[in-house]
Amino acid sequence: MTLTLGHYLFLGSGLFIIGIFGALTRRSVIGILMSIELIFNAANVNLAAFNRFLHPDGVTGQAFALFIMTVAAAEVVVGLALVLAIYRSRDKIYMEDINIMRG
Amino acid sequence: MELPLLSLITFIPLMGALAVLCVPKENRRVLEALSLTAAAIPFALTVWLYFAFDRSTAAMQFVERHAWISTDAVRIDYYLGVDGLSAPLVILTTLMSLIALIASLGIKERFKEYCFWFLILEVGMLGVFESLDFFLFYVFWEITLVPMYFLIGIWGGPQKEYAAIKFFLYTLAGSVFMLLGILALYFKADPHTFDMLQLMKIHGSLSFRFQVLAFLAFYFGFAIKVPAFPFHTWLPLAHVEAPTAISVILAAVLLKMGVYGIMRVNYPMLPLGFEWFLPYLVIIAVINIVYGALCAMAQNDMKKMVAYSSINHMGYCLLAIAGASATGFAGAAFQMINHGIITGALFLLVGVIYDRAHTRDIGAFGGLAAKVPVYAGLMSLSCFASLGLPGMAGFVSEFLCFLGAFPRWKIYAAISVIGIIVTAAFFLRMIEKVFLGPLNNKWADLPDMNARELLSVVPLAVLMIVLGIWPRWALDMMNTTMVGLAGLFR
Amino acid sequence: MIEYVWLVPLLPLAASLIILFVGRESDHSPMPYVGIAAIGAGLWISLRVIFDGAVGAAVLPFEKDWSWYSFAADLGGRAFIFDMRAGVLIDGAAAVMLAVVCLVSLLVQVYSLGYMHGDTRFKRYFAYISFFTASMLGLVVSNNLIVTFACWELVGVSSYLLIGFWFEQKAPPYAGKKAFITTKLGDLGFFLALLLTFTYAGTYNIVRLKEAVAMGYLPPVVLTFIGLGLLAGAAGKSAQAPLFIWLPDAMEGPTPVSALIHAAPMVAAGLYLVARVYFIYLASPAAMEAVAWVGLATAFLAGTMALVPYDIKRVLAFSTVSQLGFMMCALGVGGYTAGLFHLTTHAFFKALLFLCAGSVIHAVHTNDMRSMGGLSKRMPVTFLTMAVGSLALAGIPPFAGFFSKDLILEKVFEHSHLMFAVLVFTACLTAFYTFRMLFLTFLGDGRDHDRVAHAEESGSVMTVPLLILAALAVVSGWLFEHGHAFASFVGNGGAAEAAAEAAGHGTQAAAGHALNPMVLAVGLTAAAVLLILLAYSLYGGPDLSRAARIKERFLPVFNVLENRWGFDAFFLFLVDASDRLAVLCRWLDTEVIDRIFVDGWGLICRVFAEISHLFDALFVDQAVDGCGYVSRDVAGRGLRSLVARGQVQEYLLYLAVGVSLFAILNK
Computed from CA positions of residues B239, B244, B245, B251, in that sequence, does the dihedral angle turn out positive or negative?
A: positive
pLDDT given at position B273: 92
Beta bridge partners of C74: C79
Residue type, C117: H
Nearest neighbour of A95 by CB, restricted to C640, C644, C647: C647
Average pLDDT of every residue of chain C: 83
CB of C90 closer than 8 Å to CB of C49: yes
Residues found in chain B: 490
CA angle C552, C555, C556 (to 5 degrees): 160
Average pLDDT over residues B276-280: 93
d(CA B37, CA B105): 13
CB-CB neighbors (< 8 A) of C185 in chain B: 421
C-alpha C303: how far from its chain's center? 21
d(CA C30, CA C422): 50
H or E stretch at C68: strand C62-75
d(CA C52, CA C46): 10
pTM, full prediction: 0.84
Residue C626 distance to chain A (closest CA, Å): 21
pLDDT given at position B192: 86
CA angle C219, C223, C226 (to 5 degrees): 140
d(CA C250, CA C178): 8
A–C contact: 3+ Cβ pairs < 8 A: yes
Q: What is the pLDDT of residues C373-399, one digit of tens each?
A: 778 788 888 888 888 889 888 888 778
d(CA B487, CA C80): 9
Contact call for B483 and C79, based on CB within 8 A? yes
Average pLDDT over residues A68-72: 92
User: Which has the closest alpha carbon to C462: C348, C363, C368?
Assistant: C363
pLDDT given at position B48: 93
CB of B285 closer than 8 Å to CB of B347: no
- Mutation target vs B (from C74, C169, C204; most B CBs, 10 A cutoff): C74
pLDDT given at position C496: 52
CB-CB neighbors (< 8 A) of C157 in chain B: 384, 389
Q: What is the pLDDT of residues C476-519, one digit of tens each?
A: 777 665 556 666 676 554 455 555 554 444 444 444 455 666 77
CB-CB neighbors (< 8 A) of A20 in chain C: 656
Nearest neighbour of C168 by CB, restricted to B229, B370, B420: B370
Average pLDDT over residues C262-289: 85
CB-CB neighbors (< 8 A) of C649 in chain A: 23-25, 32, 95
pLDDT given at position A11: 93
Other CB atoms within 10 A of residue B56 CB:
8
User: Which has the closest alpha carbon to B198: B210, B208, B188?
Assistant: B188
The neighbours of chain B, by the rule of 3 or more Cβ pairs under 8 Å, are: C
Nearest CA in chain A to C642: A103
CA distances from A63 to A59, A66, B422 (A): 6, 5, 90
d(CA B62, CA B60): 7
Average pLDDT of every residue of chain B: 90
d(CA C603, CA C561): 59
Q: Which domains does chain A have, with CATH numbers?
A: 5-93 (1.10.287.3510)
pLDDT at C547 over 80: no
CB pairs under 8 A between A and C: 29
Residues 21-80, chain A: which have Cβ within 8 Å of C?
23-25, 32
Q: What is the pLDDT of residues C350-376, one digit of tens each?
A: 888 888 888 888 888 888 887 777 787
Nearest neighbour of C157 by CB, restricted to B384, B439, B470: B384
- Mutation target vs C (from A95, A97, A100; most C CBs, 10 A cutoff): A95
Give Cβ neighbours of residue C663 (< 8 Å, ≥ 6 apart). Answer: none
b/e map C196-214, b = 16+ CB within 10 Å: bbbbbbbbbbbeebbebbe
Q: What is the pLDDT of residues C55-100, one digit of tens each?
A: 777 777 888 888 888 888 887 778 888 888 899 998 888 888 888 8
Q: What is the pLDDT of residues B118-154, one digit of tens each?
A: 999 999 999 999 999 999 999 999 999 999 999 999 9
Average pLDDT over residues B217-235: 89
Computed from CA positions of residues C586, C589, C594, C600, in that sequence, does the dihedral angle turn out positive or negative?
A: positive
pLDDT given at position C491: 59
Q: What is the pLDDT of residues B6-64, one digit of tens each?
A: 999 999 999 999 999 998 888 889 999 999 999 999 999 999 999 999 988 888 989 99
H or E stretch at B333: helix B326-357
CB of C597 closer than 8 Å to CB of B220: no
Nearest neighbour of C652 by CB, restricted to A24, A98, A102: A24
CB of A25 closer than 8 Å to CB of A94: no
Contact call for C578 and B297, based on CB within 8 A? yes
pLDDT given at position C507: 42
pLDDT given at position B89: 94
pLDDT at A87 over 70: yes
Q: What is the pLDDT of residues B181-203, one digit of tens each?
A: 999 999 888 888 888 888 888 88
CA angle B393, B398, B402 (to 5 degrees): 155
Q: Which residue has the higher pLDDT, A11 or C22?
A: A11
The neighbours of chain A, by the rule of 3 or more Cβ pairs under 8 Å, are: C
CB of B427 closer than 8 Å to CB of B392: no
Contact call for A24 and C647, based on CB within 8 A? no
Contact call for B432 and C194, based on CB within 8 A? no
CB pairs under 8 A between B and C: 166
pLDDT given at position B292: 92
pLDDT given at position B461: 94
pLDDT given at position C505: 44
d(CA C420, CA B180): 72
Average pLDDT over residues B156-179: 88
CB of B2 closer than 8 Å to CB of B94: no
Q: Which residue has the higher pLDDT, C17 or A103?
A: C17
Nearest CA in chain C to A22: C649
Contact call for B432 and C177, based on CB within 8 A? yes
pLDDT given at position C512: 44
Average pLDDT over residues B302-326: 92
Percentage of chain B exceeding pLDDT 70: 100
CB-CB neighbors (< 8 A) of A32 in chain C: 648-649
Reported as a pLDDT band with limits 50, 70 and 90, residue C264 is low
pLDDT given at position C588: 85
Q: Which residue has the higher pLDDT, C335 or B417?
A: B417
Contact call for A99 and C647, based on CB within 8 A? yes
Average pLDDT over residues B407-436: 91
pLDDT at B379 over 90: yes
Other CB atoms within 10 A of residue B209 CB:
10
Nearest neighbour of C188 by CB, restricted to B325, B417, B429: B417
Beta bridge partners of C85: C67
Percentage of chain C exceeding pLDDT 90: 12
Percentage of chain B exceeding pLDDT 90: 60
d(CA C228, CA C242): 14
| Runs of H (alpha helix) within C443-566 | 449-453, 460-479, 484-490, 492-502, 507-508, 517-535, 545-553, 555-562
3-state secondary structure of B470: coil
What is chain B's percent helix, strand, coil content, to nearest 5? 75, 5, 20
Give Cβ neighbours of residue B404 (< 8 Å, ≥ 6 apart). Answer: B320, B323, B325, B326, B327, B328, B329, B330, B331, B332
CB of B89 closer than 8 Å to CB of B337: yes
Residue B287 distance to chain C (closest CA, Å): 11
d(CA C90, CA C93): 8
Q: What is the pLDDT of residues C167-225, one digit of tens each?
A: 888 888 888 898 899 889 899 999 999 999 998 888 899 989 988 888 888 888 999 99
pLDDT at C432 over 90: no
pLDDT given at position C515: 62
Other CB atoms within 10 A of residue C665 CB:
7
Q: So what's the ipTM on this one?
A: 0.91
At residue C328, φ and ψ (nearest 5 deg) are -60, -45
Nearest CA in chain C to B381: C157
d(CA C367, CA C360): 9
pLDDT at B256 over 60: yes
CB-CB neighbors (< 8 A) of C581 in chain B: 294
Average pLDDT over residues C22-51: 86
Residue type, C408: I
pLDDT given at position C513: 52
Among the residue ranges B323-327, B351-355, C548-552, the one predicted with the least confidence is: C548-552
